[in-house]
Structure 1
Amino acid sequence: MTDGSGALLRGSGLSVVFRSRGGVEARALDGADVVLNPGEILALVGESGSGKTTLARTLMGLERPTAGEVRYGGEPLRYTTRGLRDFRRRVQMVLQDPAGALNPRHTVYESVAEGLRLHGMVAHDPEGRNEAELVAAALASAGLRPPEGLFLRYPHELSGGQRQRVLIAGALALNPELLIADEPVSSLDASIRGEILALLLRLRQQRGLGVLVVTHDLGLAWNIADRIAVMYLGRVVETGPTEEVLSAPRHPYTKALLSVVPETGALTPVVLTGEIPDPTRIPAGCRFHPRCPALADGSAAAVEQACRSESLDVLPDSPEGHHVACHLVAHAGVSGG
């Protein structure tokens, strides 16, 4: 199910504002557009505090946007019990901490069967399979074989990789069209990380699954994603085909993140000063300007005033092209800036 443009999931102008008891507003999302097509892997990347997890939760319906809207298959997401239930059968989330996400009192069987029961999947299975057969099929699809040997095991009896696969199996049991994976391999050993990433690629190929991967690891994004969206302080600052963005980054923030990825072989890593600003005090102009290496070394002198005072437009949610929110790029006349 897609909209007229072929998009499966689309977020337009998304903002999420949290208010403290004192009335102070924190803009976790401050105008973000994102689109995901069927069978596509999109990576959301950025430092901690960039807003990527909030964006993923908003697209999942776990956070209701203060402004903007989420559309699935062209239809606005309905924040009713029934609307969210139908949506979450089609869009499943895989969390980053399997040890915390799995109930320690539930067996593997119970963990995977829970979603099947909630959504009445057994009664509507086109092949007439019973619950145990559906649980076994989901575990096998997640690479856990023989699945029946894991039915009565508990999370503490599994390795980290096995626990992550059980989470993925629980999602696959509902036969979703899209997975949202929040740092899906951050807690795993390097050897297991590759296996889980290969599994996601295989699921995309075999099932046509769309996958939204949230990660701080640009190396991971380079290996798995078709497109990439780089986030900073609640907005997407650069987006486009992964190979194009990461082989020829335009935004100073993307360049800095990429410079410390070992695979790139960068001779001089760019160390950003300070941390992402508090979302209650978003800087004027370009929100990255207080940490921008191009301003610090003088290479952006021609646009310094604009960087410090003129805000930038929200990047379009078009799946085509390489788009950048940067005064320096626009001044240089690079298309898509």
Structure 2
Amino acid sequence: MNAPEVNPHSGALEADGLVVEFTTRSGDIARALDGVDVIVRPGEVLALVGESGSGKTTLARTMLGLERPTAGEVRFDGTPLNYSISGLRALRRRVQMVLQDASSSLNPRHTVYDSVAEGLRLHGLDTSDPQGRTEAEQVAAALASAGLRPPESLFLRYPYELSGGQRQRVLIAGALALQPELLIADEPVSSLDASIRGEILALLLKLRDQMGLGVLVVTHDLGLAWNIADRIAVMYLGRVVESGPTEEVLARPKHPYTQALLSVVPEIDELAPVVLTGEIPDPTRIPGGCRFHPRCPALQGGFAEAVGVATMCTTVDLPLIPPDVDGHHVACHLPQRVATEDLADV
């Protein structure tokens, strides 16, 4: 008897060649995403990392249907996203977003109970729970899953009565109340004290392990990504420039941009800090060739010239990184000529 076929796209949220453009006030076209391929599956944590302006949040919002791509498509379960009201409601029933600033995300006039129950009411799940639970039981279960116990003691409290960590847990509980398959967490601990950050990260890992949740984490912090992510995608100026298993990418980074980001992680002492000159270029005027070349230490320091790729760096565009879940991929001309261990010395 043949084993049933497993759908490789089951529960997977995919971006396929996503392009997102905005028109500026001056009439120029800004390309916030310029061909992005990523995939996040249930039971894994994918971290999107990069500086502000790299396109991380735009990608997360587009994958949730909050932005509509100019080109390419978002797929869930292998099916292109339906942008009708019913289609987006169906997606957000299964994929929930956790925002970074609980203080501004929670309505100060709503109790904890109402904040968590809001999603249930919007989706009609307050009266049609598959397990036959009442609304109060669903809210209590969500708060408990987010580490807020006893949950009933928080029902009538307001956001101002909670600590920053508790408010972030309430946001997570609001997402968990819908029993989603995936969470998109945008800088989930950036507004928290260092003592609380570890607790929230541990909670996300617990949810992955116990509930099989997939988590897409948007962060500028490679140290955070190293501690929580199974895979990592490094973004720069609207594209993924390096991706792969977290341990592989961060232990043996191939792209000078990843190396520069990694060099300023406080926990890593053996790397000399790399100070990048300038800022991410204007997305209305994306540089030719490798889009990182105006800031690349390897090009500025003469290393790219020494190994014979300087002209390619400034003139030859690089292919998109594939969205697969295996292997270490990089969009850079240098690794084609130089061994990874030598790149670490650039």
Return the TM-score normalized by structure 1.
0.97
- The residue aligned with 2:335 is 329
Mapping for residues 166-315 of structure 1, pairs under 5 Å = 166-301=170-305, 302-315=308-321
C-alpha separation between the residues in 1 aligned to 2:266 and 2:207?
A: 28
**Residue range with higher mean Cα deviation, 179-188 or 323-332:** 323-332
Distance 1:317 1:267, change over 3 A: closer
Distance 1:43 1:140, change over 3 A: same
- The residue aligned with 2:98 is 94
| 2:12 is aligned with 1:47 | no
C-alpha separation between the residues in 2 aligned to 1:163 and 1:176?
A: 20
Q: Shift in Å at residue 333 of structure 1?
A: 7.1
C-alpha separation between the residues in 1 aligned to 2:52 and 2:223?
A: 16
Alpha-carbon contact 1:7-1:35 (below 8 Å) kept: no
C-alpha separation between the residues in 2 aligned to 1:307 and 1:6?
A: 39
Name structure 2 gaps, 5 residues minimum.
1-5, 341-346
C-alpha separation between the residues in 2 aligned to 1:331 and 1:84?
A: 46
Identity of paired residues, percent?
74
State the one-letter code of the partner of 1:101. S
Q: Shift in Å at residue 296 of structure 1?
A: 1.0
3-state DSSP of counterpart to 1:106: coil
C-alpha separation between the residues in 2 aligned to 1:29 and 1:234?
A: 4
3-state DSSP of counterpart to 1:18: strand
- The residue aligned with 1:316 is 322
Number of aligned residue pairs: give it.
333
Alpha-carbon contact 1:51-1:233 (below 8 Å) kept: yes
Alpha-carbon contact 1:94-1:168 (below 8 Å) kept: yes
Alpha-carbon contact 1:95-1:182 (below 8 Å) kept: yes
C-alpha separation between the residues in 1 aligned to 2:339 and 2:78?
A: 34
C-alpha separation between the residues in 2 aligned to 1:7 and 1:143?
A: 25
Q: Shift in Å at residue 121 of structure 1?
A: 1.2
C-alpha separation between the residues in 2 aligned to 1:14 and 1:333?
A: 31
The structure 1 residue matched to 2:111, chosen from 96, 107, 112, is 107
- The residue aligned with 2:166 is 162
C-alpha separation between the residues in 2 aligned to 1:310 and 1:94?
A: 38
3-state DSSP of counterpart to 2:201: helix
Q: Shift in Å at residue 38 of structure 1?
A: 1.5
C-alpha separation between the residues in 2 aligned to 1:6 and 1:102?
A: 32
3-state DSSP of counterpart to 1:103: coil
The structure 2 residue matched to 1:79, chosen from 66, 79, 83, is 83
* Offset from partner CA, 1:75-123 (integer Å, 9 cap, x none): 1100000000010010000000001111111110000011001111133
Q: Shift in Å at residue 124 of structure 1?
A: 2.8
C-alpha separation between the residues in 2 aligned to 1:233 and 1:127?
A: 45
- The residue aligned with 1:127 is 131
The structure 2 residue matched to 1:138, chosen from 142, 157, 160, is 142
* Offset from partner CA, 1:33-79 (integer Å, 9 cap, x none): 00112201000000000000100001111000000000000111000
* Offset from partner CA, 1:148-196 (integer Å, 9 cap, x none): 1111111111111000000000000000000000000000001100000
**Residue range with higher mean Cα deviation, 124-133 or 149-158:** 124-133
3-state DSSP of counterpart to 2:242: strand
C-alpha separation between the residues in 2 aligned to 1:218 and 1:310?
A: 28
**Residue range with higher mean Cα deviation, 225-234 or 31-40:** 31-40
State the one-letter code of the partner of 2:17. G
Q: RMSD in angstroms over aligned alpha carbons?
A: 1.2
3-state DSSP of counterpart to 1:262: coil
C-alpha separation between the residues in 2 aligned to 1:98 and 1:333?
A: 45
C-alpha separation between the residues in 2 aligned to 1:54 and 1:142?
A: 26
Q: Shift in Å at residue 127 of structure 1?
A: 2.2
Q: Shift in Å at residue 3 of structure 1?
A: 4.7
Alpha-carbon contact 1:285-1:312 (below 8 Å) kept: yes
Alpha-carbon contact 2:127-2:135 (below 8 Å) kept: no
